[in-house]
A = this chain, B = another copy of it.
């Protein structure tokens, strides 16, 4: 069903950034299921519903795709979430935006997410690993900044900011271990429900 959704998307023209995310996502899925060697540029183009020449327009070879997956998914996640933070909204609404956008990214590019989160991509290249960590830190610091702003605005109680950030990220990061796209809530809905639980607490009001 996740496949079907991706295919349906591919029928409409995608803009450059969306197309690249689709290629990375499909490639990550193919690498994870049939292996790097077992996956050809033709397979990737077919999975995306695009021509080989369009694929080569974006990537010169499989290794470039691989490199972008291992580096990219963290960088793209940062950009994706950053672009979706509601401007001018109250800090806690921006925290909700951060969580829901992460859920959305997870839902849409789940394979790339899984690939970059599991040990599967134990990238031997130190430089790429470092760059990925750098984007990971920027993503985490974005959230910490929002929490800090919410405390200063009097919306959140004084907290251990890094720990509160880790609590939120844990809830989102662990989704790939249990989430089944074909049943129940969507990933953005889950993120929103987590936001409510974490913000308001589980205990009865009063």
Q: What residues of chain A have their CB less than 8 Å away from a CB belonging to chain B?
A: 92, 118-120, 147, 150, 154-157, 159-160, 163-164, 166-167, 169-171, 173-175, 177-178, 190, 193-194, 197-206
Contacts and interface: CB of A to CB of B under 8 A. Distances in A.
Contacts of A170: 170-171, 173-175
Secondary structure class of chain A's binding surface, majority of residues: helix
A28 B131 CA distance: 30
A202 B159 CA distance: 8
Contacts of A147: 202
B164 A197 contact: yes
A43 B203 CA distance: 49
B160 A193 contact: yes
Nearest to A122: B119
Contacts of A206: 205
Nearest to A154: B204
Which A-B residue pairs are the 9 nearest by beta carbons? Answer: A201-B201, A170-B174, A200-B201, A170-B171, A170-B170, A157-B204, A156-B202, A119-B119, A199-B203
